[in-house]
Every structure is written in C-alpha cells, then in structure tokens.
Structure 1
Amino acid sequence: MDHRYPVVLVHGWRSHPGIWNHLAPALQDAGLPCWKFDHTAIQENGTEAIALALQEFIRARRKENGYGGPVDIVCHSMGTCIARYLLEFIDGSDREEDVRLLVGIGPPNNGSAMAEAFNDPERGPEVIRRLAGVFLPRGYDPAEDLIVQEFRPGSRVTSALSGAGTRDDIVYRLILAANLTKTPAFFPAFGGRTLEIAPGEGWRMTYAGDGIVPHSDSHLPGAGVEILPADPGNLARHPERYCHIMLPRNPEVIAHVRNCLAASAAPDVRTPPRS
C-alpha cells in the first residue's frame, strides 16, 4: 500500500467494535494501524454526544501515538453518519480534523427508512416482529431509542447533515450490497428485499439494498460507490454474507476497503439495480 495512515474504525447502531474482527487484522497485516472507536456505552446519549466522543477519541489516539497527520475513517452503517456529523457539522467550518478518506459500508446517509418504519403505526409492529432476534432485541420499543428517532428522514440530525454538505478536502467512498439475483436467503426476514421510501410512491420493497439500508438511503452526492458482489455468483454461494449485518466481515468488502485505502482516486460510480 502507498501509505500508512491510521484507520479509525466506527461501528454502527446496536453494534460493537467486535464487528471489525476480520477487517482490522487484514488492515494491520498491510501495515495500517487501526484505532477502534467504541460507543456502545453512550448510544442512548444521541448523535452529537457520540460524535464529540469520536472527536476526543481521535485526539487522544493522536496524542498517544505522537501523530499529527491525516487519518482515514472506515464506518459501518450509522457509524458513517456519526463521523459525518463530526466532520461536516461540528467541524465543518473549522476543519481542524485532518481526514483524508471516509469509507461508509451500508450507510443511511439520508436518514433511515427502517427507522421510519419502526415508528409507523401500521407497518412498524410487523417490521419489528420480523426483525426481533435478528436485528432487534425482543420487546424493542423505538420510542425509547434516541438514535432511531434522530435517524428518521427529515429529523434534526439528518437535516443538519443535509444542510452541511460534504467536505471538498475529504474523499468519500461507499461500499453497498445489492441482491442482484433476487435470492430470498440474502435476507430472509424480508424475502431478500429491502424496505425503502420511494419519492412519490411511498413504501416499497427493493432488491437495491442490503436488507436493512436501501441504496436510496445511502446516496451521497460526489461519493464514489461500489456495489457488491462484483460476481453475482457469490450470492448463490454465500448470500447471507451480503446482508447489512454481515458486511463488515464479508471478505469481498474487506478487499474493497483495502483497495479504497490504497487508491488515490475515487472508484467509478455504478448505477444501483432497480427493484
């Protein structure tokens, strides 16, 4: 690889740093130090508190390692929006955070259709029932989950991100999955599809997503996008590896993260498949 910038790893909602137990060793084998940010204990404090904690974490690791250069940030799911909230909203004007590259794996950049579905009085109970024990704890109540409320489309947090816009001093790359073969085993809870809110249409199911986050939620102007798998045959062999929950441990995703960290230019943007 052409550089040895530290890589900050930011896990997603209701997740933990253990999600990086395949990616981190692969990066470290390539000579890249990994700084794993753990926000499991403060998720109930909300987006801004977590973003500020991320800022303090990066500063502490810089001081600990005597390092003042740029870092790369790799995030899963909502972790991408936490990093973006820090970089674009909190630090957007000052630009004190020296970040070269931000890689988002399955991020809900425009807010989460799933978060909105949880709160839908008609659709919510069935969605929560299907995901109980798979993506949600049993007895889950979205009204008690501040992060879910903050990541509904049009919320204060998603509006702040939209208004701030991306930074021209940071390269943005997205790694997304799609059910290219319409295989139900991709994410059995929804028959291989992903719930989304289509402009002018309302709720619908699409194969252009990872079971939890549709591509329409992930779209970020100017970001390079890679849609996986590159070989649809991989879905016949291991469809479950491409669902949202498993993406950080997916060997193809790991390879693409390494490529993103090594590359000097953003990858080509591929058009997501339509449902």
Structure 2
Amino acid sequence: MKNEEHSGRIPAVLVHGWNSHPGIWNRLLPRLQEALIPAWVFDHTGLADRSIPEIAAAIGDFVQGKRDETGYYGNVDVVCHSVGTCIARYYLEVIDGERMTAHVRQLIGLGPPNNGSAMAELFFDPVQGAEIINRLTGVFVPPGYDPSSDRIVHDVRPGSAVMHNLRNAGIRQDMAYHIIVTGNPGESPDFFPLFHGATWEREEGGRYRPTFHGDGLVTHSESALPGISLDIITAGPGTDEESLPPGQFCHIHLPRNPVVMERVLGYLTLPADRT
C-alpha cells in the first residue's frame, strides 16, 4: 500500500544465509512487529543456483520494489545472517559502491564470513573434505552434498573473485556496520558438538587449526572488517548469558538466539539519526 505508515521506525531488510530460508527470522519478526519496525524479508531460496553477484543484484530489485509498493524512499537497515551479509555487502559495496543510490543507515551482520570461509575451503580439501561434509550432513548441508556444483560456496572461498572484489571495494563511509559474533571461551563441547565446541580456522600456508574464537562454523577473524569492532557474545559460565544452553550460541541458531536478537533490536530501535 502506498504511503505505508512507518511509525517513525526505519524498515529492516532481512537477508538469510546460504542453504537457509526466511524461516530463520520467525522469532525476530514478532519482536520487530512489537517495536513497530516494518520488516522487508528478502527470500533468495529460489536463487540457490546463482552466484553471489547475481543474488546481490536481486536484493537491489527487491528493495526498490518494496519502496515502490510502500511509498517509502528513506533509509533502511539491513540485517543479515552468515553469507547473507556477503550478499548484501556485494550489492552495497561493489554494485552500488560508486553510485551510492542505496539509502542504508546500517548493516547488521550475524556471524558473517566477511573475509571468506575456511569451512567452504575445507569442503574441497582432498584429505578432510569428505569427513567434514559427512559430519555436517543433515545439520548444515543436505545429504549427498557436492560442493563442486555450488556457486555460492565457490564465491565464499577466501581466494575467490567475489572476496577479491569485496576487499578491493572496501566498506562504505555513508553507513554504519555492526558485526555480531559468538564465541566459546569456556570450550564447552556442547557449543557445537560436531566439532567438539571449536571452529576450524585456516592459517597462512593453508593449514587448519581449531579455535574457540568462533561460532562453530565462522571464526572471528573471518567476520572482522577493517575499522569495525566486533560485538562478541560469549556463552558459558561466568558470562551474562550463562543461563542459556551453549548450543544456542552456535552459528546456526544466531538469528533465533534471544541475546543476539536483543542486540539487533538495540541497533534497529536507535533514533533515525543515530547508528
């Protein structure tokens, strides 16, 4: 409907991640409704066979369509999970980086592989790849998963052309970035049992090592952006979140984690002129 009433709140564009779906926002959406924040949910499940640049272009078309539908042409906030952050960033920084026609106040990324994914690289490892995929089958990848035909996974490998383009484009200066990640400093195996609570990290030289500075699938170093501080939420004894099971802080559950949602809502409910 034209001239949609936004109650003074900036609309939130929600972008799910790889091998995921809009249902991951089912606990956040009621919270947005309560806060009178319009939610524009971008569903790219039908583009699973496309590249990140192609899906990124579709975000631009989606947002423009919502603007025309509602009559709202002001700033929006963008909330992304995992690879959804890379997709949104590719649109904002590479496709729209010079034109700057996308009016975005802030981008909020949950567990994003901003610098490429060691897990994606491990999928192709001749020694460990098959075992890694086998462990993740039914949890993070479908049965019979073949990474060689997955264009998105190719795009999030650290040495890909997509990652190269994102590094070269750099972050935008006309909007704020908030990167929310989780960690397992207590080294609880229940955090992400498939890897005994750790996250695989790729070192220089191509070797892999486990670290507890990650969410089970994405490490803090993979999420980091130049000049942007990470919001690190840790699970386990001695933390503010010790009442929640450690498993709720792993990568897969970030969009539904109540502590993460509170952090997201804190950013979304900032006055329109603040980030």
Q: Under a length normalisation based on structure 2, what TM-score does the superposition of the two structures give?
A: 0.92
1:197 touches 1:203 (CA, 8 Å); kept in 2? yes
2:214 to 209, 215, 224: 209
User: Is residue 241 of structure 2 the alignment partner of residue 244 of structure 1?
Assistant: no
More helix by share: 1
Q: Deviations over 1:211-262 (max 9, x none)?
A: 0101111011122321113763635641111000001000000000011223
1:109 touches 1:218 (CA, 8 Å); kept in 2? yes
1:27 to 32, 37, 40: 32
Aligned to 2:3: none
Superposition map of 1:27-106 within 5 A: 27-106=32-111
Q: Deviations over 1:110-156 (max 9, x none)?
A: 01110000011111011111111111111111101111011100100
Cα RMSD, aligned residues only = 1.6
Aligned to 1:131: 136
Superposition map of 1:183-222 within 5 A: 183-199=188-204, 202-222=207-227
User: Is residue 115 of structure 2 the alignment partner of residue 110 of structure 1?
Assistant: yes
- Give the gaps of 5 or more residues in structure 1: 267-275
22-31 or 227-236, larger mean C-alpha shift: 227-236
Structure 2 counterpart SS, 1:130: helix
1:171 touches 1:223 (CA, 8 Å); kept in 2? no
1:187 touches 1:240 (CA, 8 Å); kept in 2? yes
- Aligned partner letter, 2:141: L
User: Is residue 21 of structure 2 the alignment partner of residue 16 of structure 1?
Assistant: yes
Structure 2 counterpart SS, 1:185: coil
How far residue 96 of structure 1 moved from its aligned partner, in angstroms, is 0.4
User: Is residue 241 of structure 2 the alignment partner of residue 234 of structure 1?
Assistant: yes
Structure 1 counterpart SS, 2:241: helix
1:181 touches 1:232 (CA, 8 Å); kept in 2? no
- Find the aligned partners of 1:71 and 1:237 in 2 and give their Cα distance: 32
1:3 touches 1:262 (CA, 8 Å); kept in 2? no
* Identity score, percent: 51
Distance 1:117 1:224, change over 3 A: same
Distance 1:6 1:157, change over 3 A: same
User: Is residue 189 of structure 2 the alignment partner of residue 163 of structure 1?
Assistant: no
How far residue 202 of structure 1 moved from its aligned partner, in angstroms, is 2.3
1:259 to 263, 266, 270: 266
Structure 2 counterpart SS, 1:67: coil
Equivalent pairs, count: 265
- Give the gaps of 5 or more residues in structure 2: 1-6
1:172 touches 1:222 (CA, 8 Å); kept in 2? no
2:158 to 148, 153, 159: 153
- Aligned partner letter, 2:142: P
Distance 1:62 1:135, change over 3 A: same
How far residue 89 of structure 1 moved from its aligned partner, in angstroms, is 0.2
2:241 touches 2:259 (CA, 8 Å); kept in 1? no
195-204 or 73-82, larger mean C-alpha shift: 195-204
